[in-house]
A and B are shown apart, each in its own frame.
Chain A
Amino acid sequence: MTVHASFLQDRDFINSLYIVAVILFIVGLRMLRGPRTAVQGNIVAATGMAIAVVATLLVRGVGDWHLIALGVGIGTAVGIPSARSVKMTAMPQMVALFNGVGGGAIALIAVTEYRELLHHGGENPELSFLIPSLFAALIGSISFWGSLVAFAKLQELISGRPVKLPGGSLVNLVLAAIAVLAAVVVAAGTESEALVWLILLAAGLLGIFAVLPIGGADMPVVISTLNAFTGLSAAAAGIALDNVALIVAGMLVGASGSILTKQMADAMNRSIGNVFFGGFGSGGGSAPGADAEDGVDRTVRSTSAADVALQLSYARLVVVVPGYGMAVAQAQRAVADLAAALEKRGVEVLYAIHPVAGRMPGHMNVLLAEADVPYEKLKEMDDINPEFARTDVALVIGANDVTNPAARNVTDSPIYGMPILDVDKAGSIIVLKRSMSSGFAGIDNPLFYDPKTQMLFGDAKSSVGEILAEVQAL
């Protein structure tokens, strides 16, 4: 290798930069393990990305700077303001959207690369290019359209409840078969652009129809899965493009998405297949009507803000159990204020965070962090469950299914076996809830009829505000 004026464009030099970028990605992700190092970790990873982009711009033949500037310009103009202005409660749909455009980019790149090859004609493209490229197109398209549906559901542009489609899994199977068959035909040597578009179309419809029937409570699993999909397709695109940075970065994301998906599914005691093909809440063993005759006393005790304030103020340990309802009501700041007022009176306040509370993994943690709750107070399920026995008051705010004791003992309940927060072990339980409707899973919650439970009905934010006012007046 001779060093000359254009050594910057040397393949080895560029690949070295890619390796630096990849190291920074891995180090950055490692630093995400702890809240103290996480901010720098993200910056380290972003630096890696900047290096990878600069390295790519050095590659010989990369050009058409107008078009590059146009694309990057549009992307920046859209990306920065949306990232800056998005509310923390809207984070799941933002992540879904960012994930979707990533998948879309991959699908478009795969298609264009194929078109270019056809255009230049000559020999048949090699299998080592075709297979990863078609895979990237297929999975990228599923990810794009699936993420858009997830976004629309979370943004409530369409119903967040499970939408049952006629045909159901059969339609999905047929679509998957069409996409895969078309891919096999193209890989076998048929030069057809139309077939590649057909792959994108069938995969896109599959993404839409697969996510549409999934209820809001299952969104953490869906978002993780789509994230893993985009990562895997990026890695495949990397093989097609002979780009080591893409391969490693894509695979890192594929691995992390897969782990999260598994953790989320485990936290609900459901298989991933069951989430995508189960149609939670649209069937299942506990229709409310059937339960009504099981001899359980269905009396609900409702209470007042003043009474709640009194109980909280004279407690030693209060455990707050937040759920998606808190996010919907934007009550996190009010909750943090209430906790601060109680702490001033010497009450210990902890938060019990179920792994799938909210609409994406770790959703509650972000909301409470936004409200300046120190992360030491946010306890994971396994850490907080033994504490409920010494808890005086458990304050359940907009959480439902993750506290449902039916998961423990009602064998025919759809959530039977799901690990739950042992809220019912607390001395007394106060549930803040808008109304008596059941959660996203559509399952009756015996916790609400527990003699130790009192319900405070109303909007979570104003309820917490009233309690706070009463506490301060004491």
Chain B
Amino acid sequence: MDLVTEIAILVLAAFVGFEVISKVPNTLHTPLMSGTNAIHGIVVLGGLLLVGPAEGFLNELLLVIAIAFGTINVVGGFLVTDRMLGMFKGRKAEQVKRAADEEQGA
């Protein structure tokens, strides 16, 4: 891909991002933050792409650390967001969940 195409993609992505995110209510700002946080863990792809051709111990070490960091970012980020969102309950949903819990308990 040439640079101009990539910059075009970048700019469009910024607009999509602004458009999508600016409507998230305050209530969900923490999960939004940890969710987007998980998404930038996508840098792990960079580590995966480079580790194969990498030569030398230092390069390999740095990339393994990078992959580990990226994985923590992705796995931890999505999990923690899921945990948080699971707690957001409306009045109805709360009752449904309680009923389900009781059923499971029985």
Contact surface of A with B, Cβ cutoff 8 Å: 25-26, 28-30, 32-36, 38-39, 41-43, 45-46, 49, 52-53, 56-57, 59, 61-64, 67-68, 70-72, 74-76, 78-80, 82-84, 86, 88, 91, 94-95, 98-99, 101-102, 104-106, 108-109, 111-113, 115-116, 119, 128, 223-224, 227, 230-231, 234-235, 237-239, 241-260, 353, 355, 360-363, 365-366, 369-370, 372, 374-376, 378, 380
Q: Is B100 an interface residue (CB 8 A)?
A: no
State the 5 A-B residue pairs at the shortest beta-carbon distance, nearest first.
A75-B71, A255-B17, A71-B67, A362-B29, A361-B29
Say yes or no: B90 contacts A376, CB within 8 Å: yes
User: How long is the Cα–Cα vector from A103 to B51 in the complex, in angstroms?
Assistant: 18
A38-B88, A366-B30 known; A46+B45 contact, CB < 8 A: no
User: How long is the Cα–Cα vector from A42 to B78 in the complex, in angstroms?
Assistant: 7
Say yes or no: A76 contacts B71, CB within 8 Å: yes
A235-B10, A247-B10 known; A95+B85 contact, CB < 8 A: no
List chain B residues, Cβ under 8 A from A36.
Answer: 90, 93
Say yes or no: B20 contacts A376, CB within 8 Å: no
Pick the contact of A86: B14, B47, B74, B80 (CB < 8 A).
B80
User: How long is the Cα–Cα vector from A56 to B91 in the complex, in angstroms?
Assistant: 43
Total number of residue pairs linking A and B with CB closer than 8 Å: 377
Pick the contact of B36: A105, A111, A231, A239 (CB < 8 A).
A231
Say yes or no: A109 contacts B30, CB within 8 Å: no
A95-B34, A361-B30, A362-B31 known; A75+B67 contact, CB < 8 A: yes
User: How long is the Cα–Cα vector from A273 to B81 in the complex, in angstroms?
Assistant: 30
Say yes or no: B88 contacts A369, CB within 8 Å: yes
Measured CB to CB, the closest approach of chain A to B102, in angstroms, equals 15
Say yes or no: A83 contacts B83, CB within 8 Å: yes
Say yes or no: B52 contacts A105, CB within 8 Å: no
Say yes or no: B80 contacts A83, CB within 8 Å: yes
List chain A residues, Cβ under 8 A from B33.
Answer: 95, 223-224, 227, 256-257, 260, 360-362
Measured CB to CB, the closest approach of chain A to B59, in angstroms, equals 5
Q: Is B103 an interface residue (CB 8 A)?
A: no
The secondary-structure label for the interface of chain A is helix
Pick the contact of B45: A38, A52, A111, A353 (CB < 8 A).
A52
List chain B residues, Cβ under 8 A from A80.
Answer: 75-76, 79
User: How long is the Cα–Cα vector from A46 to B45 in the complex, in angstroms?
Assistant: 14
A-B contact pairs, 24 of them (CB 8 A): A25-B39, A29-B17, A33-B24, A46-B38, A64-B54, A78-B68, A95-B34, A98-B37, A102-B69, A105-B46, A128-B3, A227-B37, A238-B6, A243-B46, A250-B42, A253-B36, A253-B39, A255-B18, A257-B33, A258-B18, A260-B21, A366-B30, A374-B91, A376-B90
User: How long is the Cα–Cα vector from A128 to B65 in the complex, in angstroms?
Assistant: 26
Say yes or no: A33 contacts B3, CB within 8 Å: no
A223-B33, A235-B13 known; A116+B53 contact, CB < 8 A: yes
List chain B residues, Cβ under 8 A from A62.
Answer: 48-49, 51-52
Say yes or no: B29 contacts A253, CB within 8 Å: no
Pick the contact of B50: A33, A45, A112 (CB < 8 A).
A112
List chain A residues, Cβ under 8 A from B77.
Answer: 83, 98
Say yes or no: B28 contacts A254, CB within 8 Å: no
Say yes or no: B50 contacts A109, CB within 8 Å: yes
Say yes or no: A249 contacts B40, CB within 8 Å: yes
List chain A residues, Cβ under 8 A from B6.
Answer: 238-239, 242, 244, 247
Say yes or no: A112 contacts B62, CB within 8 Å: yes
Q: Is B106 an interface residue (CB 8 A)?
A: no
Say yes or no: A26 contacts B50, CB within 8 Å: no
User: How long is the Cα–Cα vector from A4 to B14 in the complex, in angstroms?
Assistant: 37
Most buried by A among B16, B33, B55, B87: B33
Measured CB to CB, the closest approach of chain B to A236, in angstroms, equals 9
User: How long is the Cα–Cα vector from A99 to B16 in the complex, in angstroms?
Assistant: 22
User: How long is the Cα–Cα vector from A230 to B51 in the complex, in angstroms?
Assistant: 21
A116-B54, A119-B56 known; A42+B49 contact, CB < 8 A: no
